[in-house]
Amino acid sequence: MEANFDPRYQAPNAPAMPWTSSASAHDRASGFGDTLKRAKRAANAKRAQRTLMSVPAAPLDGPPPEVQREMLAAARVWQTLAAQGKELRFGQSADGRVSVELTDTSGRALDVIGPSGLFRLLQQAS
């Protein structure tokens, strides 16, 4: 079956149907248009997020230089104490304070130096 329609043909008793311009429909805000805008914004945000996540982070080469200096000073103090047969022991009291003891290699307490004494030892090594 085949149908041929002539868009210019109007039935003899049919009322005239005015052609409406689509421009007036575009001027009005539509729910679909708003939804489409939100969807495009969401898609752009997701695309940007994927781009950020796909860029590999620069590998860390190690601690920052100031931390490396502090670690070297601590290593020198440890070596000096070890050569003298001494060690540092760290603890925490019931009230949360840090305690630092100077002990011999058998664990016998020689002195309680506290955190400030520890920093003095580290300062001497730098």
For each of the chain's 126 residues, which pLDDT tens digit applies?
566 666 666 666 766 666 555 555 555 556 777 888 888 888 888 888 887 777 666 667 888 999 999 899 889 888 998 999 999 999 988 899 888 999 998 989 999 988 888 888 878 766
What is the spatial distance between Cα 54 and Cα 32, in angstroms, rounded to a whole number? 33
CB atoms within 10 A of CB 60: 7
Q: What angle do CA 79, 81, 87 make, to 5 degrees?
A: 110
Q: Look at residue 40 and tell me if it is in a domain.
A: no
Q: Look at residue 77 and tell me if it is in a domain.
A: yes
pTM: 0.46
Q: Look at residue 79 and tell me if it is in a domain.
A: yes
Q: Look at residue 26 and tell me if it is in a domain.
A: no
Region for 14 from its dihedrals, namely left if φ exceeds 0, alpha if ψ lies in -120 to 50, beta otherwise: beta
Q: Look at residue 27 and tell me if it is in a domain.
A: no
Domain count, the chain: 1
Residue-wise pLDDT for 49-70, tens only, equals: 887 777 666 667 888 999 999 8
Residue range(s) defining the domain that contains residue 85: 65-125
Q: Look at residue 29 and tell me if it is in a domain.
A: no
